[in-house]
Amino acid sequence: MIKKIRNFAIVAHVDHGKSTLADRILEMTGTVDSRKMRNQFLDKMDIERERGITIKSQTVTVFHDHNGENYQLNLIDTPGHVDFTYEVSRALAACEGVVLLIDASQGIEAQTVAHFEHAKKLNLKIIPCLNKCDLPDLDMNDAIIDAADYLDVDPDDIMQISAKSGLGVKDLLEQIILKVSAPKTTSEYFRGLVFDSEYDSYRGVIAHIRIVDGEIRKNEKLNLIGTNTNLDALEIGYFRDSKVPKEVLSCGEVGYIVTNLKNISECRVGDTVALKKNVEKVEALGGYEPANQMVFSSFYPVDGKDFEKLRTSVEKLSLNDASITWDVENSPSFGFGLRMGFLGPLHKEVIQERIEREFNLDIISTAPTVSYKLVTADKSSHHIKRIRDIPYDKNIREWMEPIVDATISFPKDYLGKVMDLVQKKRGSFSSMENNGYRVFAKYEIPLAEVVNNFFSNLKSATQGYAGLDYKFSGWRSSDLQVVEIHVAGNSVEALGGIIPKDDVYTFSRSLVDKLAKEIPRHQFKVPVQAFSGGRIVAAKTIPPYRKDVIAKCYGGDITRKRKLLEKQKEGKKRLKQVGTVAIPQSALLSILDL
């Protein structure tokens, strides 16, 4: 049976046709009834369909006849956006081969290169495949030669398909059977790798596993080695258009286990499942590196009474997305909220939209920021995720910021514009390759610049033709300063930031001017100030309302007018001491660009 199993993933750059190819495979193998078939069948969430992107990797088992024998193909459809590379890496660990899909009209792009290199490191069989080959006015010879040169493969090894029409898809299935190796076993004892998990309100945690050795039967007693958690296999099975229960899962198969665990933290991605009776005889499998949160943002409910609802909704989302982190914080301006960590800016947008739609919550989110490393005079290192984390009782010796290795692919006509943009974003040039029509430029760029609309600016500069892939490369010493915003003497932490010294004045002046326009006038003066380096770098005063208290005095003794003016002056002074300035949500939303 194991000789007739093939595990493979479809990987590609964004919009190169992964989900469409998965649809054609489901159709041609009869996995999904034609009446149930729809576009992006494996994309389960509404947000995936509306945005036209895959966010969560999805697994499905299909069966295909080859030379009169029935083969089991376990397909994993993966995301394409750089923010979800962690999902792709987990999927590849459960496979022996990948279909590297390339849009014939666009050619090799940044994420194509990243997936190709990752698959090579894992020694997976790579099947390069040019998609959209039925497009008119397409020079296929040039597309094949460019792909073959970059991937260093024989042009005859590159397949040509159209995922939309189904052209060449059956030939691709044949090649998967012929070229991707069957799974191999190294132990007689059952071992399974947890590569994903989900939470069901009625059945608890459902672990998605790849059976590496042995077999598992329904109702067997299991143990998760990493967390030393005991569980029962209440139901096992594999994935079709829905979950299909099965009595036995054998070596090489990809399926699920209904564990009935109520806490998903006990079932970590990358953990090893073993039979409880054999747990001491089994060696744990090499798991995954923990997800590295790159972007941080605070979420606050518009109505402060909804904080518990917000926390509950994030807890539920984290059951299905283990890559987010969160903790509670209290802001004087926003009230109680959650400080959350994400894999990237798109990941943050998706989570925010899911909270608002799936849990019917109105929330305010702060602009995405990154964490910094602060080295103090005693040479101790501190991770700074927000301004309040700064140890002001110690002398600051050095600021360090996260740097990413970015690969940008774009048509060579836009080289000048891309170089100008990267220079403005404090990027430094590493290397450049010219693959015919497209350029692959590698830069080192501060992560703080990447999360601040860099991809949008890049798309604008190249009329939508640029591709971006990046990965964390380390920390670099930088000349940074803290900017704190004070309104009427009170600090508004959410509006401050840690920014390059050269940008302090521009940032401060822009923010102060914007706040001064948005905050309504009060009965007393409201100073708006930006502090940096122990001094005020920008300030503006919102003038008070004025009432003409001497309007009723027609002539007469001047002392009467003075008495009224002094009385008004004392009242304003007292009001300034006890009055508070409430920053309206319209001002906050305007400043946070929401």
Per-residue pLDDT at 585 = 57
Lowest model confidence (mean pLDDT) among 125-129, 213-217, 584-588: 584-588
Query: Is residue 593 scored above 60 in pLDDT?
Result: no
Tell me whether domains 295-365 and 481-591 share a fold. Answer: yes
Q: Say whether pLDDT at 286 is over 50.
A: yes
Residue pair 159/100 in contact (Cβ under 8 Å)? The answer is no
| Local confidence band at 127 (pLDDT 50, 70, 90 cut-offs) | very high
Note the pLDDT tens digit of each residue in 481-504: 888 888 877 777 777 888 888 888
pLDDT at position 357: 85
Please answer whether residues 216 and 249 qualify as being in contact, where contact means their C-beta atoms are separated by less than 8 angstroms: yes
Give the residue-averaged pLDDT of 458-478. Answer: 85
* Domain 191-281: homologous superfamily in CATH: Translation factors (2.40.30.10)
Q: Which amino acid is at 455?
A: F
Q: Which span out of 144-148, 444-448, 551-555 was modeled with the highest average pLDDT?
A: 444-448
574 has pLDDT over 60: no
Q: Residue 319 pLDDT > 50, yes or no? A: yes
> Where is mean pLDDT largest: 48-52, 397-401, 574-578?
397-401
Q: Which of 254, 239, 119, 242 is nearest to 195 (CA)?
A: 254
Contact 284, 35 (CB under 8 A): no
- Kindly report the CATH class assigned to 295-365: alpha beta
pLDDT band at 578 (very low <50, low <70, confident <90, very high): very low
Where is pLDDT greater, at 569 or 46?
569
Residue type for position 208: H
To which residue do tokens 């940032």 refer? Answer: 507
Alpha carbon dihedral 460, 462, 466, 468, in 10-degree steps, equals -50
Class of the domain covering 481-591: alpha beta
Q: Tell me: the pLDDT tens digits for 167-183?
A: 888 899 999 999 988 88
- DSSP-assigned letters across all residues of 170-213: HHHHHHHHHHSPPP----SS-EEEEEEEEEETTTEEEEEEEEEE
* E strand map for 201-324: 204-213, 215-217, 221-224, 229-232, 235-239, 243-246, 248-250, 254-258, 272-275, 295-301
| pLDDT, average across residues 61-81 | 83
Over pLDDT 70: what percentage of the chain?
Answer: 85
Q: Write the single-letter amino acid at 496.
A: G
Sheet with 254-258, edge to edge strand ranges: 229-232, 221-224, 272-275, 191-200, 204-213, 254-258, 235-239, 243-246
Beta pairing, strands 229-232 & 221-224: antiparallel
Has residue 582 got a pLDDT over 70?
no
User: Which among 333, 344, 324, 278 is positioned nearest to 304, based on CA atoms?
Assistant: 333
pLDDT of residue 320: 67
Report the alpha-carbon distance of residue 484 to residue 508 in Å, rounded.
9
- Position 558 pLDDT exceeds 80: no
Helical H segments across 238-395, by residue range: 307-320, 345-358
Nearest by Cα to 49 from 379, 376, 350: 350
Rounded mean pLDDT, 352-361: 86
Alpha helices in 391-534 (DSSP H): 415-424, 447-450, 454-461, 504-518
Rounded mean pLDDT, 225-252: 87
Mean pLDDT, residues 73-80 taken together: 79
Tell me: pLDDT of 233 over 50: yes
pTM of the model: 0.72
pLDDT digit string (tens) for 207-224?
888 888 888 999 899 988
The pLDDT value given to residue 444: 92
Q: For residues 158 and 409, give the distance between their C-alpha atoms in angstroms, rounded to a whole number.
A: 21
pLDDT for 409 equals 85
Written as six digits, the tokens of 145 are 């030669």
For the chain, domain boundaries: 2-179, 191-281, 295-365, 372-478, 481-591
559 in Cβ contact with 514 (< 8 Å): no
- Minimum mean pLDDT range among 127-131, 380-384, 445-449: 380-384
| Distance (Å) of CA 350 to CA 47, 164, 567 | 8, 27, 56
Which stretches of 34-181 are DSSP H helices?
A: 46-51, 85-92, 110-121, 140-151, 169-179
Q: Which residue has the higher pLDDT, 247 or 242?
A: 247
Residues 17-44: tens digit of each pLDDT: 888 888 888 888 877 776 666 666 665 5
* 543 exposure class (CB count in 10 Å sphere: 0-12, 13-18, 19+): exposed
Work out the angle at residue 182's Cα, subtended by the Cα atoms of residues 176 and 188, and round it to the nearest 5 degrees: 160
CA dist 359 and 310 (Å) reads: 8
pLDDT at residue 577 is higher than 50: no
Fold of the CATH domain 372-478: Alpha-Beta Plaits (3.30.70)
- Give the confidence band of 579 by pLDDT, cuts at 50, 70, 90: very low
For residues 75-81, average pLDDT: 73
The mean pLDDT value of the chain amounts to: 81
What is the fold, at CATH topology level, of the domain defined by 2-179? Rossmann fold (3.40.50)
Beta bridge partners of 237: 245, 256
Handedness of CA 343, 349, 350, 352 (dihedral sign): positive
Can you give the pLDDT at residue 235? 92
